[in-house]
Chains A and B, each alone.
Chain A
Amino acid sequence: MPPRLNIWPACRALTVRSRPLLNQSSCIAAQTQARRTFADNTTNTTSSSRQPQRDAQFNPALVPGSKAPAQAQPTSSSSTSSENEQAIGQLQMLAYGLNPFDAAVEGHKYGLPELPIPSEMHMKHRYDPVVVQITKLLMWDGKLSKAQRDMALILNYLRTSPPPKVDPSRPLVPGAPPAHHLPLDPVQYLTVAIDSVAPLVRVRGYKGLAGGGASLDMPIPLAARQRRRQAFQWILDAVNKKKSKGSGRSMFPHRVAEEIVAVVEGRSGVWDRRQMVHKIATSARANLNHSRLKKR
């Protein structure tokens, strides 16, 4: 049903104002300034020619019961306190259409955090991503807090161990800091060690594709997380074959940390495993354009 044609809806758009609209930006500051001055000083310094009635409204001298000491008070410019002046300045900025409140400064004791908020400010992402991943790999039986203690002990060991002597035949990952910088930043020490021995690829076998039941090997690139996982699994394999030196809960992390130092110094057998995988993957590169693979 179409709406009825009526004159009354037109009235809704009509606004009736009992007073004329003020030009906000121009007069708030002046008005407040006048009020401020009155609070301190009864002498009216602002020109009241423009709005005589309005000023008169707020003049405390006119309020019955209040005294109006005229000459005893100093002049307004010297009597206005710094807070007042600051407030007046802010109002003035408001009047100019500027925002006087810088959110990074005003109202916050230590300012606002930089945006976007860095991930370590989130409770669940407060640790370095490598540390989180490796901690989970250290975990047995779902006991994360034990694994975290182990990780803390590993990092402490790295912090206190002497700077590693890097073997030039086993170069660290490009961009690694010099060896003597590593112990003071144990997280980076760990990251450098793991990234240096991380394999670039894994070799996947396609069963029966090479003919005669033989599997066809193919190199598959790994993502950064996968590479780190593989590297740390190899490190853990080496650690589990090591003999414990002492007793107590700090022995497993000490062995892990020793193996990490060994990796950076090029003594670890993990390097050979990495080399072997790369060698196989290099020879398997020939299969990349294998005809049977294309048919799949």
Chain B
Amino acid sequence: MSAPNCLRGLGLGLGLTRPVALRNVAVTAAPCAAAAAAASFSTSAYLQAIIARPKKKAVEVAFGHHRAGKKMKLSKFKKANKGDRGKAPAPGERKAYRKRILLSNNNAIPVAGLQDFAPETMLDPSSAAKVLSIPDAVVDQLRTIEAFKTTQSWSIFRKPSMLVRAETVELATRMQGAAANKQALRLVATGDKLTGKSMLLLQAMTHGLLNDWIVLNIPEGQELTTASTEYAAIPGTANPVQYMQQNYALRLIQNFRKANEKVLVRLMTVFAHPELPQNIPVNSPLLQLANSAKEPENAWPIFQALWKELMAPGRGRPPVLFTLDGLPHIMKVSDYRSATFEPVHAHDLALVRLFSDCLSGAVAFPNGGAVIAATTRSNGPRTPSMELALAQREAEQSKSVVPAPEAFVKYDERVAAALRTVQVMRLKGVSKLEARSLMEYWAASGVFRTTVDEAVVTEKWTLGGSGILGEIERAALMTMRL
């Protein structure tokens, strides 16, 4: 055995695998090295020197733990500290950032000659296939009632503008006709994904606001039925028990008040409301009644009082537009549970029941108005009853063969009753003329960087599944699939 090898063996024999320990040894073992040089090779002196050390701790430092390899070390599973990450966002801040709606993009070029919607615009068949922008005052009102959605691409244009399609003119005409006859238009807008159902709802609301209608909007049906807002049984109801959603009702009233302030201030109450804690004398403005909703506790009674006032016949009340997006969410059993832990049907929630009664015609609109609902496809639960009812109404309207219910599907009678007499408007792709006018608007905004000619219009129209608006937008505006 040669000397260098022996030294290496010495190092190993002492368990000096860690470089720190090796350095310590090199310092402390210096006297021993001289002894080793004098005598023949031996480790005993070295070991004695170590045993003679007074402090046990120092030994541990020199040699490590006596069972170094077997010691449990949890720290190796810990993640490395990434340093100070600062203050966490406040509750609700992240959601607000996610849900914020941007309605303007200063980079987009202002479109010259873009006209605003006027009260009669949507009734005029000649305005079909034109892009028009929403007046600023109406934009604020629409924003208050949450008519704009995060999924719509408002944020890439200078100003919120919409394409008037043939269906828009038809819907506005029907709304106006119903209001003139002091009746309610009861309509469900349905269609495939991205065909513009929510946008049609938005257009109906715009039309209503421009014509001084009272507009009440439930932006998402699912907010009412997914058990995400508080609920309480309404006293005095049984078979079945009904539930009020006070927090939601409060928010609804407040948004409703802000959006319809202009109309509410000149309408006067005609009923005394002794059930309310506040004293609202007869012939005080409706705005005062709406303003009295401050606490969730009395929000539902105030909402009922407001509804009663709006429906007062023969007092010169304006027509009422009641809209809801996401119809399938309220046409099923909700996620709420009763006191006995039974599932609560969505139609036992008082607000949902009001809407479904309006839709079925059980609630009369003596001053005229419209109840419009839109189905949803990308985020909708499957509701066979609603699908069947809508298919049947559609077949009845087009005088074709009415589809029969399937034998092995359990249908919901309450849903069928709610949709027994509604009108159905099925949205399909737009015409090439409409697509062209929209694409010209995009090009004028500087967002769509192509010459808009017949070939391009046809290409995008075809790529967009024969004119499905959202798909055209994907094909033309989005650089990548969103």
A131 within 8 A of B: yes
Tell me which residues across on chain A come within 8 A of B105, comparing CB atoms: 159-160
Q: Does B156 contact A (CB under 8 A)?
A: yes
Produce 1/0 per residue, A170-205, CB < 8 A to B.
000000000000011111000000000000000000
Q: How far is the CB of A138 from chain B (nearest CB, A)?
A: 11
Taking CB atoms and an 8 Å cut-off, the chain A residues in 131-171 that contact chain B are 131, 135, 145, 148-149, 151-153, 155-156, 159-163
Interface segment, one of B89-97, B113-121, B355-363:
B89-97
Q: A184, B447: Cβ atoms under 8 Å?
A: yes
Instruction: Tell me how many residues of A have a C-beta within 8 Å of chain B.
Output: 32
Complex partner residue of B458 from A110, A184, A186, CB under 8 angstroms: A110
Within B155-204, the residues touching A (CB, 8 Å) are 155-156
Contacts of B454 in A (CB 8 A): 110
Q: A152-B478, A155-B479 are in contact. Are A245 and B97 (CB under 8 A)?
A: yes
Chain A residue numbers with a CB within 8 Å of B85 are: 243
Q: Which chain B positions have C-beta within 8 A of A248? A: 94, 98
Q: Which residues of B contact A187 (CB under 8 A)?
A: 479
Is A96 on the interface with B (CB-CB < 8 A)?
no
Q: Does A127 contact B (CB under 8 A)?
A: yes
Q: B106 on the interface (CB 8 Å rule)?
A: yes
Interface pair B108/A149, CB less than 8 Å apart:
no
Cβ of A152 and Cβ of B98 under 8 Å apart? no
Main secondary structure of the interface of B (DSSP, over half): loop
Chain B count of residues within 8 A CB distance of the other chain: 29
CA distance A148 to B482 in the complex (A): 7
| Residue from the set A149, A160, A243, A248 with the largest chain B CB neighbour count within 10 Å | A160
Query: Please, which residues of chain B bring their CB within 8 A of the CB of A127?
Result: 479-480
Closest residue of chain A to B85 (Cβ to Cβ) is: A243
Q: A152-B478, A160-B155 are in contact. Are A184 and B95 (CB under 8 A)?
A: no
Q: Is the C-beta of A247 less than 8 angstroms from some C-beta in chain B?
A: yes
CA distance A241 to B82 in the complex (A): 8
Kindly list chain A residues whose C-beta atoms are within 8 Å of the C-beta of B106. 162
B-chain residues with CB within 8 Å of residue A160 when the two chains form the complex: 102, 105, 107, 155-156
Chain A residues with CB under 8 Å of B82's CB are 241
- Report B-chain residues with C-beta under 8 Å of the C-beta of A184: 107-109, 446-447, 449
User: Residue of B at shortest CB range from A185?
Assistant: B449
A241 to B454, CA, bound (A): 48
Residues of A within 8 A of B (CB): 110-111, 127-128, 131, 135, 145, 148-149, 151-153, 155-156, 159-163, 183-187, 241, 243, 245-248, 250-251
Apart from A184-B446, A246-B97: 11 A-B pairs, beta carbons within 8 A: A131-B479, A131-B480, A148-B481, A151-B480, A152-B480, A153-B482, A156-B482, A159-B105, A159-B447, A160-B102, A243-B85
